[in-house]
Structure 1
Amino acid sequence: MTRLTEFPAPTHGVDAVVRAMRALGAQWPPGDGVSVFNGVYLTVTERVGRDIHGGGFPDRRAATTLAVLFARRYLVAVRAVEEGERPPACWQPLFQFRRHPGVRPVQFALAGVNAHIGHDLALAVVDTCRMLACEPADLEDEFDRVGELLVALEEQVREELMPGPDLLELADPLTHLAGAWSLERARDAAWSSARCLWALRRLPELGDETAARLDAAVGLVSRFLLTPSR
């Protein structure tokens, strides 16, 4: 069984996560759907690391802990697949369709971001609160700063990975599919989910059920995002 303890610890910093992501990227072919997401996420993680080292976060320890625990959930999903285990439901569509010729790079990127933001970020906030013995409200500044970096990157992802000349994009079904998903809305929902899961920590059975429902719902959205375009 893959466990979170097998992956970079917050005390090792974001640099350890960056090294792990680079190693993954080196072993996958460029057209692999998971590799596409990994490249996008690596860019974000490198930027977060630079901002942490440069004093761009109000609380460096909290920002590092959140960033590392967040990334570890993605790394756990990758390891699960490599070991023949089933990853969380939110990640299953990306791994299932990673080599589908009818799915375009922007779809892989958005499906991965949806899984990671919609499900993993909420649980990472809860993980961080437990590790630092704090409340979600104590992490709001760090959460918002990471969210700002992600939202800024979303536009870059769409510009770089969306196919076709501008005049044809309005008629492309992919434009409508990708345009229906919003990272900003996903981030806001993740914050609400984190607060809800934290409030349910003393009701573990209900908390586990709520987390499982969240996982399944986010996975459904990822499946729609990966609808083959040809």
Structure 2
Amino acid sequence: MDGLAGIVREAGRAGDRVGYFAALYRQVTVEVRTAVHGGLFDDGARMDRFDTHFGNRYFDAYDAWRRDQSGPRCWREAFGLLDDPDTIIVQHLILGVNAHINLDLAIAAARTSPGEAIHALRRDFLLINDILARVVVTMQDSVDALSPFMSLLDRVGARTDERILDFSVRQSREEAWYNAVLLAGQNEEEREATIQRLDIRAAVLARLIARPGSLVRPALELIRSTENDDVPAVINHLDNAMERSSAKQGTA
């Protein structure tokens, strides 16, 4: 969590869009830690290990990209658009979510509970996914405040993230469990082949998110033209999304 906070702080100082997803993910880790300390998981110590494995996947990808633009294909697709001024905020967020769910989540689960132990992880895995989904929904509300045209589309029911970006968080979470069980039962050579396959698939999805079809592009251009382009301000807004949501619920 301290590492994520450092990435968010540095990104805010530098005006680096890497802080967009890092802010989202930092809040996931805060919520997971709160759930662990609150005794919500069947095995809190196991979920601490899971959270560490999951986080290290992101840190390793981030370090590899910063070092020599290497790392998993799907993360390279995400990081490769950080300097693209035409990519909208929600695309940056979902590119990170895509890589972290469609590649990293299953790997972290299988490393936490290899072999037959994976089946005992099922309930806690679903709970951590519920936490992830709750943060993503809250972040969408936060993005609406930064992106007036996207907020308008929401109000008139003209779009969902799935329609615009061809990405379903719910479906990806379900597939991640299937892949976690698969990886947990494989030997090292089989696991490596499966991870390569998952990475390729996630990279294909990333390209669809980054460069959607011609029918969607005009909407994305309109969204981008109305978005807040103050990167440090956007990072700060996203990084406080859960706190604002909790405060709003407390006063409701």
For normalisation by structure 1, the TM-score amounts to 0.82
Q: Deviation string for 1:28-86 (max 9, x for gaps)?
A: 14753321000000011011111111212111111111111111100001111122150
2:163 alignment partner in structure 1? 176
2:11 alignment partner in structure 1? 28
Q: Which amino acid aligns with 2:127?
A: R
Mapping 1:83-122, distance limit 5 Å: 83-122=67-106
Over 3 Å counting, the alpha-carbon distance change for 1:149 and 1:172 in structure 2 is: closer
CA distance in structure 2 between the aligned counterparts of 1:140 and 1:208, rounded to whole angstroms:
23
1:186 alignment partner in structure 2? 172
CA distance in structure 2 between the aligned counterparts of 1:174 and 1:104, rounded to whole angstroms:
12
Is the Cα–Cα contact under 8 Å of residues 106 and 157 in structure 1 kept in the other structure?
A: no
Is the Cα–Cα contact under 8 Å of residues 33 and 94 in structure 1 kept in the other structure?
A: no
Q: Which secondary structure state, in structure 2, belongs to the residue aligned with residue 28 of structure 1?
A: helix
Over 3 Å counting, the alpha-carbon distance change for 1:147 and 1:211 in structure 2 is: same
Is the Cα–Cα contact under 8 Å of residues 17 and 82 in structure 2 kept in the other structure?
A: yes
CA distance in structure 1 between the aligned counterparts of 2:161 and 2:12, rounded to whole angstroms:
23
CA RMSD after TM alignment: 2.2
Q: Which amino acid aligns with 1:148?
A: D
* Equivalent residue in structure 2 for 1:135, among 117, 122, 129: 117
* Equivalent residue in structure 1 for 2:40, among 53, 56, 60: 56
Over 3 Å counting, the alpha-carbon distance change for 1:196 and 1:160 in structure 2 is: same
Q: Which amino acid aligns with 1:154?
A: V
Q: Which amino acid aligns with 1:183?
A: V
CA distance in structure 2 between the aligned counterparts of 1:128 and 1:205, rounded to whole angstroms:
18
Is the Cα–Cα contact under 8 Å of residues 33 and 109 in structure 1 kept in the other structure?
A: no
CA distance in structure 2 between the aligned counterparts of 1:128 and 1:177, rounded to whole angstroms:
34
Q: Which amino acid aligns with 1:146?
A: I
Query: Which deviates more from structure 2 when the two are superposed, residues 214-223 or residues 159-168?
Result: 159-168
Q: Which secondary structure state, in structure 2, belongs to the residue aligned with residue 200 of structure 1?
A: coil
1:147 alignment partner in structure 2? 129
For normalisation by structure 2, the TM-score amounts to 0.76
Q: Which amino acid aligns with 1:22?
A: A
Tell me which of the two structures has the higher relative contact order, counting C-alpha pairs closer than 8 angstroms and 6 or more residues apart: 2
2:27 alignment partner in structure 1? 43
Mapping 1:3-18, distance limit 5 Å: 18=1
Over 3 Å counting, the alpha-carbon distance change for 1:58 and 1:171 in structure 2 is: closer
1:71 alignment partner in structure 2? 55
